[in-house]
């Protein structure tokens, strides 16, 4: 059951990730080389990476053969290994001290918990 479920999960996920990431890379390249606008090129790239990560991970919750805890852990790990480094490199948070990093991680965790809670409340009765 898990193997078939994984196949139906992977194909649309990979397609979605490839399309979004391709568009992001093209827009960033155009801004960087075509317009010489490095600031906006970086912002578009970072935003695109975050959107790609979210779009690639959102249907993990459709893998019903896994418990909600396992699905949540997989989703959290995917978000942590993609979004946290992107936030660190984006320049959106002033990172001058260790406390700044802790604050950024706290904001990431709070935002993730808030989104997870809203998603849980909205879809808890979905079959």
Q: Measure the CA dihedral 42/32/48/21, to 10°.
A: -140
**What percent of the chain clears pLDDT 90, i.e. is strictly above it?**
54
Give the total number of structural domains in the chain.
1
The ranges of the chain with pLDDT < 70 are 1-2, 126-127
Digit-coded pLDDT (tens) for 59-89? 888 888 889 999 999 999 999 999 999 999 9
State the pLDDT at residue 82.
95
Residue 85 belongs to what domain range? 2-123
State the pLDDT at residue 9.
78
State the pLDDT at residue 6.
73
State the pLDDT at residue 87.
93
Helix residue ranges per DSSP H, 1-97: 2-29, 38-57, 68-90
Helix (H, G, I), strand (E, B), or coil: what is residue 53? helix
State the pLDDT at residue 2.
66
pTM here?
A: 0.80
The Cα-based distances of 12 to 30, 52, 106, 107 in angstroms read 27, 13, 32, 30
Planar angle of CA 125, 67, 3, nearest 5 degrees: 110
- With a CB cutoff of 8 Å and minimum separation 6, the contacts of 52 are 17, 20, 21, 24, 82
Angle between helices 2-29 and 38-57 (to 10 degrees): 170
State the pLDDT at residue 1.
52
């Amino acid at each position: 059951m898990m193997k078939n479920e994984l196949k139906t999960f992977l194909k649309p996920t990979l397609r979605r990730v490839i399309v979004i990431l391709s568009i992001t890379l093209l827009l960033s390249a155009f801004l960087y080389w075509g317009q010489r606008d490095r600031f906006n090129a970086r912002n578009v790239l970072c935003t695109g990476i975050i959107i790609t990560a979210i779009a690639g991970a959102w249907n993990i919750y459709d893998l019903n053969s896994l418990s909600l805890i396992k699905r949540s852990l997989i989703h959290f790990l995917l978000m942590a290994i993609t979004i946290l480094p992107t936030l660190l490199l984006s320049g959106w948070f002033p990172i001058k001290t260790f406390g700044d990093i802790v604050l950024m991680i706290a904001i990431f965790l709070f935002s993730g918990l808030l989104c997870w809670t809203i998603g849980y409340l909205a879809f808890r009765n979905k079959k």
